[in-house]
Amino acid sequence: MKNYKSYILFFTASAIMLGSCKKFLDLKPIDSPTENNFYVDEKGLQGGLTACYDALQDLGLYGRNLISLSEIRSDNMEDNDQGASGGVRYQLESFSERPDNTLVTETWLAHFKAIYRCNVVLNRAPEITMDSIRKKQIIGEASFLRALNYFNATRLWGKLPLITKPQASADARSNTRADTTAIYAQIISDLTLAVNSLPTTWPDAQRGRATSYAARGLLAKVYLYQKKWDLVVSTIQPLVDAITAGTVVSLVPQPLTFPNAMKTSKDVLFAARFLLGGVGESANQDNRFRNVGGNNAIILPQSLFEPNDNRKALVAPTPASGERPVKFNGPAVNNETSMDIPIVRCAEAMLIYAEALNEISYPNTAALMALNAVRTNAGLTPLTTATLTSQASFRTAVYKERRLELALELDRWFDIVRTGQMPAIFPLVNNFRRYYPIPQTEIQNITNQSGWQNEGY
């Protein structure tokens, strides 16, 4: 991906110009890159795809804000620094955010910038003459990335404008919010295409690109959110078989993956990648759960971990003197770190499989084997039907395992909402807070603003 870094700058510049100065493009020198003259060959298309991956590093996404909107919002962490950044982050912690919250606004803009970049690649790819296999892969990668961004966005805001082609500003003002059913249908379509277009693995020099296994894992998770249990199982079964075989992908004990082996671990199927070296590809260590003055306080109860659980130390509470949890405590140089954020992992795939099988029928031998595979990987003894005596108890065990296995991986808040635990965990919080407010500045750009704001805001 980094081979095409030089094109990102061209792409970004052209995207900005197209969004604000489209009518003046004819005044620019003919060699200046624009959307029309940049995507004319394979090199340009590769550069555009790199920009799609690069978008994940945005501060509004995995570079910073998604940490706050997912983990700080949950019962895994809290922000005790009420005055920092004008209190906008503490609003998320205290369920008091408003439509003018700048973090929410930045995150909305970052999602749709990423979606726009994917739309440009997907719109231009069919007309470019190049190797058909590589073109198919590029379309698959861009489809995967668009689906990922829409999946995150609909989990954050619910109904969204469904945009699948590049838009001019005038067209964007006429956007309406599509129902989540339509959003999920597009996500499923994109991920299905990705599953059928991408290889199971890439050469080492290209590690980090989306694969068919990553697409399967994410697609199964999408079906999980829709409670389509049969589709979860049929989608993820080939991945589960591959994990069990352990040749290309496999479970790996967390201490052997985190913090310093995420880029090579067979457990990590896809991640938002970052890179040290002063090349604009790193993450600030403050944005890897660094606890400064209590702003990233881990409150995940250590008592939830059983003795000998090899995951416990990775997410232990940190002092407020600027420490990061072990899980993301890799090297930092001048406050830069290359700590990735995992997005699709083998361990989660096994838990998705276990959860879906249990919902289909109990008892289920394959479901128990999948759950115990994750527990054994964590250094724990297997569970049995003697302790998990009902479908409900098995469900509770999966939910607990998800919380411990995926701790600080930006999933806990979404799990609380998805599994209906919000009233029990946050009994004093209004249910409308399951979604964030649509940014007011975005609503003001819409011609017909009726129905644009989420309930309660």
Residue 15 in any domain: the answer is no
Residue 348 in any domain: the answer is yes
Range of the domain at 368: 211-273+341-406
Measured CA to CA, the distance from residue 90 to residue 156 in angstroms comes to 17
Residue 345 in any domain: the answer is yes
> Are 329 and 371 part of one and the same domain?
no
Which residue among 301, 322, 339 closes a domain?
339
Burial 252-287 (b: 16+ CB within 10 A, else e): bbbbebbbeebeebbbbbbbbbbbbeeeebbbbbbb
pTM of the model: 0.92
> Are 231 and 308 part of one and the same domain?
no
Residue 300 in any domain: the answer is yes
Measured CA to CA, the distance from residue 338 to residue 81 in angstroms comes to 26
Measured CA to CA, the distance from residue 168 to residue 449 in angstroms comes to 18
Which residue among 323, 339, 355 closes a domain?
339
- Encode the chain (457 residues) as per-residue pLDDT tens digits: 444 333 333 334 344 333 433 333 334 444 556 667 677 899 999 999 999 999 999 999 999 999 999 999 999 999 988 887 779 999 999 999 999 999 999 999 999 999 999 999 999 999 999 999 999 999 999 999 999 999 999 999 999 999 999 999 899 999 999 999 999 999 999 999 999 999 999 999 999 999 999 999 999 999 999 999 999 999 999 999 999 999 999 999 999 999 999 999 999 999 999 998 888 899 999 999 999 999 999 999 999 999 999 999 999 999 999 999 999 999 999 999 999 999 999 999 999 999 999 999 999 999 999 999 999 999 999 999 999 999 999 999 999 999 999 999 999 999 999 999 999 999 999 999 999 999 999 999 999 999 999 999 9
> Are 267 and 363 part of one and the same domain?
yes
Q: Domain tally for the chain?
A: 2
> Are 261 and 374 part of one and the same domain?
yes
Residue 24 in any domain: the answer is no
> Are 263 and 373 part of one and the same domain?
yes
Measured CA to CA, the distance from residue 157 to residue 153 in angstroms comes to 6
How many residues are listed for the chain in this entry? 457
Q: What is the CATH number of the domain that holds 249?
A: 1.25.40.390
Distances in whole angstroms, Cα of residue 104 to Cα of each of 133, 150, 180, 291 = 39, 15, 19, 21
> Are 328 and 347 part of one and the same domain?
no
Residue 249 in any domain: the answer is yes
Q: Which two tokens stand for residue 256?
A: 């052997």
> Are 238 and 217 part of one and the same domain?
yes
> Are 257 and 352 part of one and the same domain?
yes
